[in-house]
């Protein structure tokens, strides 16, 4: 390695040249590790991987040409080239459990040149061969592989639509795709992750109904939602409780239709019930990509595909339930939209429960592109039924909130609204 090249192995020098804050001890350590594999051929490898990914059709729209033009950044700026290698090595080693701390990647200033906002899109493109190799080793089809990675283009186009400038900011989200955790199967995406919320579910051994209990110590408002969501606190907030012994299960039950906690405790005979989900157990998170209408039949087909896909390709990672948190799971939609509306039909299939971090931020982001005036409600667009419903609800002095939900594979009978027909509290 030449003396000039060795200077770029120093993260302090490289970060200074990039015009970003001096590296932390963790960044220094990571940089030293990734630069061990740097060689004179590394630059050619990087550019070749990006070119191959573009040829593979990851980008199919105008965004592809813009991203390709941004390649000149790596050819003209040594510090950016070495940063690209640093990120490339980290991400390429991430499939299914590898460490890649996206939060340690520096935010690059616009002064570095045209196209710098697409720098991390180039990094992800350079990692396409690695993740596709992983997919192939797992027997995953090219169709699923390319459909999954197409989110890179979707979020590049989304940045242009929202800001008017080409860019890519969703590195954290795309790390799920490039680590082998997330797959797009038809209309929906499915991500393997542990269940992280303080709820516990039990199934009756005879009639197969499911009851979800809130874990102890959680504060709920009188309306059964978490205290403090949307900044609203209830002076009369109450605290959930749950106890379990060989005789009795007793605690705060969750209404699956309304997605709220009920204050009156429920008692069940312990020997008649089996635990079917606890905190930290494996689940499949469901995500609804912004790629068009949520056709109900297509969503059901995605669930059926997921039930076959994950046991086949990842048998060592069994999952207990599907889970989802989204603005689309706000039970209030049923008060405004028709029963056959896609949103209503979708949320009706789930066991709804309160989301501890609920707000209406995601509603505004998705429905109004984050351009919403809460002080002049009538001035907001009301062209679609969803926009009209949102404004009408706000005019009534109410707030929207994200909802959360669960669905067990053994209950998958799409279209039958299984949890709404279970006699849960009898």
- Residue 424, pLDDT > 80, answer no
Could you report the per-residue pLDDT of 64-102, keeping only the tens digit for each? 999 999 999 998 999 999 999 999 999 988 676 666 789
- Residue 6, pLDDT > 80, answer no
What pLDDT score was predicted for residue 1? 46
Backbone torsion region of residue 193, taken as left when φ is above 0, otherwise alpha when ψ lies between -120 and 50, otherwise beta: beta
Under the banding of pLDDT at 50, 70 and 90, the label for residue 412 is: very high
- Write out the two tokens for 372: 């919403």
Nearest Cα to 357, choosing from 212, 197, 222, 169?
A: 197
What pLDDT score was predicted for residue 3? 42
Q: Which residues are paired to 30 by β-bridges?
A: none
Q: Which residues are paired to 287 by β-bridges?
A: 189
| Interatomic CA distance for residues 408 and 101, integer angstroms | 31
What is the mean pLDDT of the segment spanning 159-174?
A: 94
What is the mean pLDDT of the segment spanning 372-394?
A: 96
Q: Which of 128-132, 295-299, 315-319, 421-425 has the lowest mean pLDDT?
A: 421-425
Q: Which residues are paired to 339 by β-bridges?
A: none
Under the banding of pLDDT at 50, 70 and 90, the label for residue 352 is: very high
- Write out the two tokens for 176: 């799920």
- The answer to whether 131 and 150 are in contact (CB under 8 A) is no
What pLDDT score was predicted for residue 99? 62
What pLDDT score was predicted for residue 310? 98
What pLDDT score was predicted for residue 7? 84
What pLDDT score was predicted for residue 2? 45
> How close are the terminal C-alpha atoms of the chain, in Å?
74
What is the mean pLDDT of the segment spanning 130-151?
A: 96
| Interatomic CA distance for residues 246 and 241, integer angstroms | 17
Q: Which residues are paired to 243 by β-bridges?
A: 250
| Number of other residues whose CB lies within 10 A of the CB of residue 127 | 29
Q: Which of 44-58, 93-107, 153-167, 351-365 has the lowest mean pLDDT?
A: 93-107
| Interatomic CA distance for residues 86 and 108, integer angstroms | 14
What pLDDT score was predicted for residue 364? 95
Nearest Cα to 229, choosing from 355, 388, 143?
A: 355
Q: Exposure pattern of 65-88 as b/e (b: 16+ CB <10 Å)?
A: ebbbebbebbeebbbbbbbbbbbb
| Interatomic CA distance for residues 418 and 209, integer angstroms | 9
Could you report the per-residue pLDDT of 211-260, keeping only the tens digit for each? 999 999 999 999 999 999 999 999 999 999 999 999 999 999 999 999 99
Q: Which residues contact 149 (CB under 8 A, 6 or more apart)?
A: 58, 128, 131, 132, 177, 178
Q: Look up residue 235 and give its DSSP letter.
A: T
| Interatomic CA distance for residues 144 and 128, integer angstroms | 14
| % of the chain beyond a pLDDT of 90 | 89
**E strands along 103-181, which residues?**
none
- Write out the two tokens for 280: 């930290």
Mean pLDDT of all residues in the chain? 94
Under the banding of pLDDT at 50, 70 and 90, the label for residue 40 is: confident
| Interatomic CA distance for residues 343 and 320, integer angstroms | 25
What pLDDT score was predicted for residue 336? 97
| % of the chain beyond a pLDDT of 70 | 97
Backbone angles phi, psi at 312, to 5 degrees: -75, -50
What is the mean pLDDT of the segment spanning 54-71?
A: 92
- The answer to whether 19 and 113 are in contact (CB under 8 A) is no
What pLDDT score was predicted for residue 98? 63
């Amino acid at each position: 390695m030449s003396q000039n090249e060795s200077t770029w192995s120093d993260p302090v020098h490289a970060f200074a040249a990039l015009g970003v804050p001096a590296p932390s001890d963790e960044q220094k350590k990571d940089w030293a590790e990734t630069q061990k594999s740097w060689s004179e051929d590394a630059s050619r490898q990087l550019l070749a991987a990006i070119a191959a990914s573009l040829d593979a059709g990851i980008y199919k729209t105008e965004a592809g040409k813009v991203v390709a033009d941004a390649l000149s950044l790596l050819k003209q700026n040594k510090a950016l080239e070495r940063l690209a290698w640093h990120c490339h090595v980290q991400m390429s080693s991430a499939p299914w459990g590898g460490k890649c701390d996206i939060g340690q990647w520096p935010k690059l200033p616009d002064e570095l040149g045209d196209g710098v906002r697409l720098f991390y899109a180039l990094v992800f493109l350079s990692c396409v061969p690695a993740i596709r190799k992983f997919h192939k080793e797992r027997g995953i089809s090219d169709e699923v592989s390319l459909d999954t990675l197409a989110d890179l283009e979707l979020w590049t186009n989304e940045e242009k639509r929202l800001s008017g400038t080409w860019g890519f900011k969703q590195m954290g989200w795309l790390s799920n795709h490039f680590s082998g955790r997330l797959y797009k199967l038809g209309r929906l995406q499915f991500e393997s992750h542990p269940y992280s919320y303080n709820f516990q579910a039990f199934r009756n051994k005879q009639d197969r109904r499911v009851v979800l209990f809130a874990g102890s110590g959680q504060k709920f408002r009188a309306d059964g939602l978490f205290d403090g969501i949307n900044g609203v606190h209830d002076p009369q907030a109450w605290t959930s409780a749950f106890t379990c012994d060989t005789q009795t299960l007793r605690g705060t039950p969750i209404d699956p239709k309304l997605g709220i906690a009920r204050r009156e405790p429920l008692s069940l005979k312990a020997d008649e019930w089996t635990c079917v989900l606890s905190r930290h157990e494996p689940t499949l998170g469901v995500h609804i990509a912004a790629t068009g209408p949520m056709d109900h039949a297509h969503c059901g087909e995605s669930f059926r595909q997921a039930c076959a896909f994950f046991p086949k390709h990842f048998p060592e990672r069994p999952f207990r339930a599907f889970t989802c948190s989204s603005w689309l799971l706000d039970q209030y939609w049923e008060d405004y939209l028709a029963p056959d509306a896609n949103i209503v039909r979708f949320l009706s299939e789930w066991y709804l429960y309160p989301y501890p971090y609920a707000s209406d931020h995601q509603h505004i982001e998705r429905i109004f592109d984050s351009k919403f005036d809460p002080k002049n409600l009538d001035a907001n667009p009301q062209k679609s039924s969803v926009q009209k419903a949102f404004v009408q609800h706000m005019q009534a002095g109410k707030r929207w909130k994200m909802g959360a939900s669960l669905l067990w594979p053994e209950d998958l009978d799409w279209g039958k609204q299984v949890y709404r027909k279970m006699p849960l509290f009898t």
